[in-house]
Amino acid sequence: MIPVVSGAARLAGRALIGGGKSAQRSSLLKMSAKLEIDKKSFHKFRKKFGETTNQALVRLGVQTAKEAAILTQPMGRGKKKVVAGIVAGAKQNVRDYPVRRFNQIARAANDFRLRPDQILESPSKIDRFIERHRGKNGRAKKIATAEKGIAKTPDLKRVIRSRKQLAGIAKGSWIGTAKELARKAKGDKKPTVGKKFMGWAQKHADLGQARFRPRNLALSEVHLISNAINTASPEIFSQKNAKEAVRRSWRKTLKWYQINTSRNFV
């Protein structure tokens, strides 16, 4: 079976696998998308291909992690939507002005009814302001116009530029689980994660973990763990997404066995 654990901090993610005090203290969301390897057609083709149930489970797990990356919001493999979300989130509660105009407004703060904490004089202050106004789902909370901060246009651009470099953290974490699990594969035609598979997000692969627990009687388990905090939000990755990732993995892995089994007999 394949339990999918999302939004786990690194240490707590380990505790969730083995059970322990850290897991009890954590408010992590553990999503169980479990499917036993019991489909007759799946058994038929993986046997013809010459793979054990354990290796079939590893193959399924790698594909499930890749599907989870695709299904993580915004859905798809592209970077454009993710970057657009970052830009929109940064601008949601911050109004930017040319430097000269910003200085004029800052000097007349009382006339504009601005509090000191709304005058964002540096990139670090902009960053803190943005983070302070995030909702539980990790997205920017819309606040009243009168409560918005003001910033210099060059400073806000600098903040957005640095935030763009963090694009794809959630998606990249699932890719990391796929990569780690793929290293446990044996035999011919091992499952892999190519460099071009959402390559822009792979720099965050270190936020993903995979555990393979081989057992007897088809009771083996693969644990896919995202350590990216924002995957704990159902708006980013839901129980429905987890189940869909496993469903897609079954379908694609079965098709892979069918194609590669027929090739072996050519």
Strand pairing report for 3-6 and 119-120: unpaired
Q: Burial of 41 by CB count in 10 Å (0-12 exposed, 13-18 middle, 19+ buried)? A: exposed
| Tens-place pLDDT, residues 197-253 | 999 999 999 999 998 888 775 678 888 999 988 787 787 888 888 888 988 998 899
| Tens-place pLDDT, residues 125-140 | 999 999 899 876 667 8
Separation in Å, CA 122 to CA 86, 126, 128: 19, 6, 10
Closest listed residue to residue 170, CA positions, set 192, 202, 131, 195: 202
Give the distance from CA 157 to its chain's centroid. Answer: 25
* DSSP codes, 44-94: HHHHHHT--HHHHHHHHHHHHHHHHHHHSSSPSS-SHHHHHHHHHHHHSSE
| Tens-place pLDDT, residues 79-112 | 998 899 889 999 999 999 999 999 999 999 999 9
First to last CA, the chain: 33
pTM: 0.74
Q: What angle do CA 156, 159, 164 make, to 5 degrees?
A: 125
For residue 32, what pLDDT is reported? 42
| Tens-place pLDDT, residues 151-201 | 999 999 999 998 888 889 999 999 999 999 999 999 889 999 999 999 999
For residue 46, what pLDDT is reported? 79
Residue whose token pair is 């379908």: 251
